[in-house]
Amino acid sequence: MTQANLPPELIDNIIGFIAIPRKLDNLYLDISFRSSDEKRVKPDLYSCSLVCREWRELARPHIFHTVGLRCVLPLEEGPITLEAFLAFLDATPQVPLCIRKLDLTLIRTTTKRWYLHEEQPVSGVDHVVLHTVLNRLSRLHSLSLTGEHLFTSTLDDWAPTPIDIRHVHCNSTLGDVFPLLQLLGNVNELVVKSHHSFVNISYLARPAVALSHLKLRSLRLAAYSPIASFVEGILLSPVVNTLDSLSLMNFNTGDNCTALKRLLGRVGPRLLDIWIDASCILAPLEPPGQLSGSVAF
C-alpha cells in the first residue's frame, strides 16, 4: 500500500468506516460497505497503530474531518466496551487529532446462554470513560449517541470538566440526555430524538439543575414519544437562558402541545430562529371531526 500511487477518490472510499471490535481482536476496514468484503488485519494494537499511520501518510487531511468511529455490539461476539476504543486511542496517538466525528452506537439487548437458560444484559457506557474519550479527541466537533439506557453510572459525586462540542445528536431514552449534558460545556446544537417515553420528572430535576456550566444555543426536539417531562427538565435548567434557536417536530398531541406552549412562554422572547412542525395528523383516540392539539395550536 505504501508503494502504490492511489488516487484521492479511492482513499476516500477506503477510509469510510472503522469498527473497533471486542478486546481489539481484529480491526475491520469496510471498503465496499458489504460484509463479504471485510478486510482483517493482524490482531494486535501494534498493527492497528501501523495501519492508522499509513492512512495518515497517504490520505488527505480533510478526509478525517468526516470519519466516524463507532463502537458496535455484534451479538455473536458479546459486548464491545468503550474501554476498548480508549485503549485503541492510547495505542495510536496520531489518530485522536484527526477525528472530527464520533458515532457511538449501543444496542441495548440481552444474550441468552442456552446451557444455563439465563439472559445476560449488555452493560452500558460509563460516564468517566466517555469523558476520558472525549478529552482525547481534542478536535472533535460532532458527537452522536444511539441506544437505550446508555449510561450505567451516575454523576452524583463527580463534577467533570465541561467539554465543548459543536453538534450533539442523542437518539436514546430521554433520561439519558441530561446525564450526557452534564459532561458538556459549549454546545452549538443539540438534536434529541427518542421513541421511548420518560415521565419521572423527579429523576430529571437534579441533573437539570446541575447544568449551570452548559451553554446551549440550538435545540432540535422530535416528540416521537410523550415529551412533557423532558420539557419540564429543560425549564428547570439554565439552558433556557442561552437558547436562541428552536426546532420542534411531531408535536401532534395535546400533552406535547401544552409542554410546547410552556417552553415557548419561557424562551420565546429571546429566540432568533424557530421552526415548529405542527402536524395535522389526528391523535389516535380523538373522535372524528376534532382537531388534534397541534392543529389547535
pLDDT digits over 165-224, tens only?
999 998 877 777 888 888 899 999 999 887 565 555 555 556 666 778 889 999 998 877
CB contact at 8 A, 278 and 253: no
Asked if the structure places residue 12 within a domain, the reply is: no
Specify the higher pLDDT residue, 190 or 123. Answer: 190
Asked if the structure places residue 124 within a domain, the reply is: yes
Mean pLDDT of the chain: 67
Asked if the structure places residue 240 within a domain, the reply is: yes
Confidence of residue 135 (pLDDT cuts 50, 70, 90): very high
Q: What is the pLDDT of residue 157?
A: 67
Tens-place pLDDT, residues 61-111: 555 555 454 554 444 444 456 777 787 778 777 778 877 888 787 755 444
CB contact at 8 A, 131 and 160: yes
Specify the higher pLDDT residue, 237 or 88. Answer: 237
Residue range of the domain that includes 105: 64-296
Q: What is the pLDDT of residue 209?
A: 64
CATH of the domain at 223: 3.80.10
Task: Name the residue with cell 505504501.
Answer: 2
Taking the C-alpha atoms of residue 123 and residue 130, their distance in angstroms, rounded to an integer, is: 14
Q: Alpha carbon of 121 to those of 79, 89, 118, 149, 153: distances in Å?
A: 10, 27, 10, 12, 15
Asked if the structure places residue 142 within a domain, the reply is: yes
Asked if the structure places residue 14 within a domain, the reply is: no
Asked if the structure places residue 146 within a domain, the reply is: yes
Residue 148 has pLDDT above 60, yes or no: yes
Asked if the structure places residue 83 within a domain, the reply is: yes
Q: What is the pLDDT of residue 189?
A: 94
Tens-place pLDDT, residues 28-60: 333 333 333 334 433 344 555 555 555 555 555
Q: What is the pLDDT of residue 287?
A: 41
pTM of the model: 0.68
Q: How many separate domains does the chain show?
A: 1
Asked if the structure places residue 27 within a domain, the reply is: no
